[in-house]
Amino acid sequence: MATRTYPSYLLYKDTAGYYRWSYAASNGLIIAVSSESYVAKSDCQRGIDIMKASFASPVFDSTNAYA
């Protein structure tokens, strides 16, 4: 098995045998996880692909919403 580098996604099976993913930052800390489990590995990979595509999303700063 190859050595994991960071930042990276980890695709794995949970204790129930379903697929899930997590994302670890460059410091190795997990900062995002899948909110659901997947029966098919391909569906889990699609969830990762969706997350990769969403990094260009705008940031909503709610700290100034009521100022």
Is pLDDT at 67 greater than 70 in this prediction?
Answer: no
Task: Map out the domains of the chain as residue ranges.
Answer: 8-55
Q: Does 57 or 8 have the greater pLDDT score?
A: 8
Top pLDDT among 65 and 35 is at 35
The pLDDT tens digits of the residues spanning 6-56 come to 999 999 999 999 999 999 999 999 999 999 999 999 999 999 999 998 877
Greatest CA separation found in the chain?
Answer: 52
pTM for this model (two decimals): 0.80
Q: Which fold has domain 8-55?
A: Double Stranded RNA Binding Domain (3.30.160)
Residue 57 pLDDT class (50, 70, 90 cuts): confident
